[in-house]
Structure 1
Amino acid sequence: MKNQAAIKEAMQQIKDYGFKYTKKRETIISYLAKANRYVAAKEVHDFLSQKYTGISYDTIYRNLHDFATIGILEDTELEGEMKFRFNCSMQGANHHHHHFICSVCGKTKEITTCPMEYFQDQLPGCSIEDHRFEIYGHCEDCQNVA
């Protein structure tokens, strides 16, 4: 299973960065790997609360933020709220790409075209260190509902 290998790799990366292995952390990673979309911390909290009574929202949010900092998760802001997804590179997407993100459900679609050449031409003498390109809108499913 592709997801299982990615989850195992993510858990190893968590250990490599000095975080302890916990079943709760593995559950967070597994949930996001299977969701394959941007998810709010509240949704992750609601899911984990079913398995781990009394787990705090702050603990979930802190872990999500830490995992994004070390590159296991990607984060974005949708409707004024931070949302998180399992990093594409953890699931074997080793090619450069960007995302269309549904602002309703958080579903993502890969965009393989990159506009950075255009921007680099407009920034002579500047050195771009990194970039992220996201397009927001409604996916097919959410557009049909609206």
Structure 2
Amino acid sequence: MNANQAIGILKENGYKQTKQREKLIQIFEARQKDQYFPVKDILEEFQDEFPGASYNTVYRNLYTLEDLDILESTSLNGEQLFRLHCDTDGHHHHFICTKCGRTKPVEICAIEQVNSLLPGYVIENHKFEVYGTCPECK
């Protein structure tokens, strides 16, 4: 995902191309693509250009970008983290380093096994993430 693709997705879905959304997308595009970042880090950089911006403004825009599949999010130690949407094709999950936030695609899924354990239930969505330490942080 790059900034032009993200702006295109915003427009296709009827959202305005605001300077705030552009800045958020630029922040993520400039960062490492395979890494999640905490909102406080994003807010600090965002406030360089928009000093009066609040957590609410940033969160609201981050969640809009997540709803449009421009960003992905995860929760780690009670903190919400975001990154640009992964470029890996097809259904997959992620290993997430608890030290640096880097990710690696995990291209297996246990949802079929879970389905077989829950006869009569309808699973609407699922999330499977593996946490640990990457080779660089080990």
Same fold (TM over 0.5): yes
- Is residue 135 of structure 2 the alignment partner of residue 131 of structure 1? no
Partner secondary structure for residue 47 of structure 2: helix
Q: Deviations over 1:83-115 (max 9, x none)?
A: 111112xx3x22111001112221111101111
Q: Deviations over 1:19-70 (max 9, x none)?
A: 2212331221132234321111111111222334333332112111221122
Q: How many residues align?
A: 136
The structure 2 residue matched to 1:35, chosen from 7, 27, 32, is 32
Identity of aligned residues (%): 40
- TM-score, length basis structure 1: 0.81
- Matched with 1:141 is 136
- Matched with 1:24 is 20
Structure 1 portions without partners, runs of 5+: none
- Is residue 6 of structure 2 the alignment partner of residue 10 of structure 1? yes
State the one-letter code of the partner of 2:64: D
Distance 2:69 2:85 in 1: 7
Q: Per-residue deviation at 1:126?
A: 2.3
Distance 1:96 1:69 in 2: 17
Larger proportion of helix = 1
- TM-score, length basis structure 2: 0.85
- Matched with 2:56 is 58
Structure 2 portions without partners, runs of 5+: none
Matched-pair contact (CA < 8 Å) for 1:101–1:108: yes
